[in-house]
Amino acid sequence: MSSLSQLYKQKDKNGTETTVKKTFLVPLSEIYVEPGFNVREIDQLHVEEFRDAFIAGEYIPPLAVQVTDQGVKVIDGHHRYYGAIAATETGTEIPRLECKDFVGSDADRIAFMVTSSQGKALSPLERAAAYQRLVNQGWEPSEIARKVKRSVADVDHHLTLLSCGDELLEMVRNNAVSATTAVELSRKHGASAAAVASEKFGEAKAAGKKKLTRSAALPQLTPSRARRLAELLADAEVEENRLTIPATALEEVKAIITEQKALMRESGWEEA
């Protein structure tokens, strides 16, 4: 059986366009993690998965690293690194880890952590923190969006999340409310968003729910009622900015509008 190394060495004969991008085996003792650098929070279960993989001798992708005065710093692969450490603590010998150079600026390193497919998926708060780091370096939302291959709306949404307040962010962190709902609550209620969310979450828990859903946090017309309103308005006539509703539909339209106003009052829309 041949190998890529043999294929490459014989490229003059076989015409392959295979190229070499080296990785290196770095002593585990020379690798280090910079506190606060990783935008991902360390998930102990994920670490244990890598620990077990190391113990079983399974293939582990190389770490992306940067050589500094302190040693070899992990850029991407923190869970793999901690998994290797955990494996050695069980008695498994791991003298070296496969590593590859990461070349780029600070912004490139942050973007790489955001877009890397090797690590655990970023939570909304972790992604927001990464975007904020780039903002602190002078990047505009549109530039960040191009850098991380996301939409400008996605960047704006995550940056807005960070302004929701500590209490509401803690609810997001604990999965009591989604990031999207937290942003909507913050936009609607401002400084009162956390208090509203806490009250609504208490009601949800009393009803046996584990999470505050958007519909519970931000009451709205049911899809069927909204669809019915659209059906009724389909027969309306528009002339010079005036909407004329057929008499047969007027009372039902007024009833649905009254429902919507009540929901807006309930969700605190008028106070926001």
Cite the DSSP H helix spans in the chain.
4-9, 11-14, 44-56, 78-89, 106-115, 124-136, 141-148, 152-161, 166-173, 179-189, 193-206, 214-217, 223-233, 247-266
pLDDT for residue 271: 39
Each of the 272 residues of the chain gets a pLDDT tens digit; together they read 467 778 778 888 878 888 878 889 999 999 999 998 888 888 899 999 999 999 999 999 999 999 999 999 999 999 999 999 999 999 999 999 999 998 888 888 888 888 876 667 788 999 999 999 999 988 999 999 999 999 999 999 999 998 888 888 888 888 888 888 888 888 877 777 778 778 777 777 777 777 877 666 666 666 777 788 788 888 788 887 788 888 888 888 888 788 777 766 655 444 33
For residues 123-143, one letter each, b for 16 or more C-beta atoms within 10 angstroms of the residue's C-beta and e for the rest, the string is bbbbbbbbbbbbbeeebebee
Residue-level pLDDT at 270: 44
Cβ neighbours around 79 below 10 Å, total: 24
User: Do the beta carbons of residue 147 and residue 104 sit within 8 Å?
Assistant: no
Give residue 30's identity as a one-letter amino acid code: E
CATH number for the segment(s) 21-104:
3.90.1530.10
The length of the chain, given as a count of residues: 272
DSSP SS3 for 68: strand
For the chain, domain boundaries? 21-104, 165-217, 223-266
Would you state the pLDDT for residue 272?
Answer: 34
